[in-house]
Structure 1
Amino acid sequence: MEQSQFCIVLVEPARAANVGAVARAMKTTGFTQLRIVNSQSHLEEEANWVAHGATELLEQAVVYPTLDAALEGVDFSIATTARKRGAARSYWTPREVAEHLQLSQFSKPNVAIVFGRESSGLSNDELARCDCWSYMPLVQSYPSLNLAQAVMVYCYELGQLFLQQEKQAIQAQAPFQALKNKIADLAGDLDIQTTEKLYEWMQDRLNYCDDRDVRMLHLLLKDVYKKL
């Protein structure tokens, strides 16, 4: 199973230190794609100081002139806001975002989390350009989290999704690896050398097996070993 691809989008960040802290938060939680709208603050020296070990994310960040451009190629975009707006829209918490993406990772493989300006957040027009809205219900409405803190919260929740995907991928690969090992053992029992074309052909064709094929071949090998 392929992992979903996530990118963090910062709209017009003004403070280099915040962008550096965002890069550091991303690095520690497994995120690598940083998109920046209409700002060069990530190139300032202060951003590198704060990034501390995550400067490659700043170097690889892609700058776009508009939010629309930054969202090209994105299947599902999530706009973050510090408070609920007047529009009649549903709002997801960071955890609800992660839960939704876990259920829809195949239909929404490329996801963007969009963060607004430090001073004013996202405009209503920018919010409207995103598929869904999210905010963090806090005990106190003010002071709100700063940009880097907000990114860290979302990265942490979605980072848990990364871990779940990796675990599922390992579980999905285990029967396939076991099948390859069984076939290698069977070839050894039948004195088939690994350099023979038959063995090479078998190993190559295994790569085309889907989950059902793998299960059926496990059953077939079980019967073969019984006969042996």
Structure 2
Amino acid sequence: MQITIILVAPARAENVGAAARAMKTMGFSQLRIVDSEAHLQPAARYVAHGSGDVLDNIQTFPTLASALHDAQFTVATTARSRARFHYYATPQELQPLLEEKAGWIKRAALVFGREDSGLTNEELALADILTGVPMVADYPSLNLGQAVMVYCYQLSSLLQHASPAASEIDGGQLQALRRRADRLLDVLGVADDHKMAGWLQQRLGQLTHRDTAMLHRLLHDIEKKLPG
């Protein structure tokens, strides 16, 4: 599985450099930047210290949605108090979840938000699952570079898993399931129940490959029984 790190609108060049250094230390190399040129400032390369190749290969995008164009599974980091949905995975819980998905998903994205305000609710809604670092402090905040290091350390073992062959991948399976679920809620007239819809979308991100396939079959049978 390929894991791409995405930083959304980082404001400080030093934070981008620290993130690049954390990535290189743990074996990650694919970094994308959304709506920022902070990585072009000299301070980014100074702090990166030996991780210049990560900075040199940065891809930039105007929006998070465009940065996720080829991601088959998206994890968004957030402070618990900002989470739109109640469920979120700790870094420890995230590792086995992604390990299972390594067998049927080629590229995952791990998204970090702005230093001062994190990700918007609209950006969080693009994720398949949310994650946060439990902290004792009254003000739950990590420096961006520290946060990237925590996750890269926790997930570094996933880099040892070979990506599945292209012929074995049905990369759109989970996204198709989400669209099917949305259509079903609409047909049933409960699409405006945002709490239930949000809960459903978050839970879908936890499904295994087998469970995803089984739920596709169930929704197919339900769709056949619906009028029209």
| TM-score between both structures, scaled by the size of structure 1 | 0.68
Matched, 1:46 2:40: no
Whole-angstrom CA distance in 1 between matches of 2:22 and 2:90: 19
Matched, 1:146 2:143: yes
**Alignment match, 1:169:** none
**Alignment match, 2:132:** 135
User: Which one of the candidate residues 27, 31, 36 is aligned to 1:34?
Assistant: 31
Matched, 1:160 2:176: no
Given that 1:81 and 1:133 are in contact with CA atoms closer than 8 Å, whether structure 2 keeps it comes out as yes
What is the CA distance between 1:93 and its match in structure 2? 0.5
**Alignment match, 2:100:** 103
Given that 2:84 and 2:121 are in contact with CA atoms closer than 8 Å, whether structure 1 keeps it comes out as no
Given that 1:83 and 1:135 are in contact with CA atoms closer than 8 Å, whether structure 2 keeps it comes out as yes
**Alignment match, 2:205:** none
Matched, 1:73 2:70: yes
Whole-angstrom CA distance in 2 between matches of 1:165 and 1:142: 39
**Structure 1 residues 111-146: Cα deviation after superposition (integer angstroms, max 9, x where no partner):** 000000001000111001111100011111325211
Gaps of 5+ in 2: 164-228
**Alignment match, 1:12:** 9
Q: Give the alignment's Cα RMSD to 1 decimal.
A: 1.6
Cα 1:73–1:86 shift into 2, 3 Å: closer
Given that 1:21 and 1:51 are in contact with CA atoms closer than 8 Å, whether structure 2 keeps it comes out as yes
**Alignment match, 1:63:** 60
* AA in 2 matched with 1:58: L
Cα 1:115–1:57 shift into 2, 3 Å: same
Whole-angstrom CA distance in 1 between matches of 2:138 and 2:160: 31
Cα 1:53–1:124 shift into 2, 3 Å: same
**Structure 1 residues 191-214: Cα deviation after superposition (integer angstroms, max 9, x where no partner):** xxxxxxxxxxxxxxxxxxxxxxxx
Given that 1:64 and 1:70 are in contact with CA atoms closer than 8 Å, whether structure 2 keeps it comes out as yes
* AA in 2 matched with 1:99: P
Given that 2:8 and 2:113 are in contact with CA atoms closer than 8 Å, whether structure 1 keeps it comes out as yes
Q: Percent identity?
A: 51
* AA in 1 matched with 2:112: F
* AA in 1 matched with 2:6: V
Q: Which runs of 4+ in 1 moved over 3 A?
A: 84-89, 163-166
> Of the two, which has the highest radius of gyration?
1
Given that 2:2 and 2:159 are in contact with CA atoms closer than 8 Å, whether structure 1 keeps it comes out as no
Give the paired residue count: 163
Whole-angstrom CA distance in 1 between matches of 2:128 and 2:139: 27
What is the CA distance between 1:90 and its match in structure 2? 1.6
SS at match of 1:69: helix
Output aligned runs, 1:191-206, within 5 Å: none
Shifted more, 155-164 versus 92-101: the winner is 155-164
Cα 1:42–1:89 shift into 2, 3 Å: same
| TM-score between both structures, scaled by the size of structure 2 | 0.68
User: Which one of the candidate residues 86, 90, 96 is aligned to 2:87?
Assistant: 90
Given that 2:34 and 2:60 are in contact with CA atoms closer than 8 Å, whether structure 1 keeps it comes out as yes
What is the CA distance between 1:65 and its match in structure 2? 0.5
Cα 1:128–1:45 shift into 2, 3 Å: same
Gaps of 5+ in 1: 167-228
What is the CA distance between 1:106 and its match in structure 2? 2.0
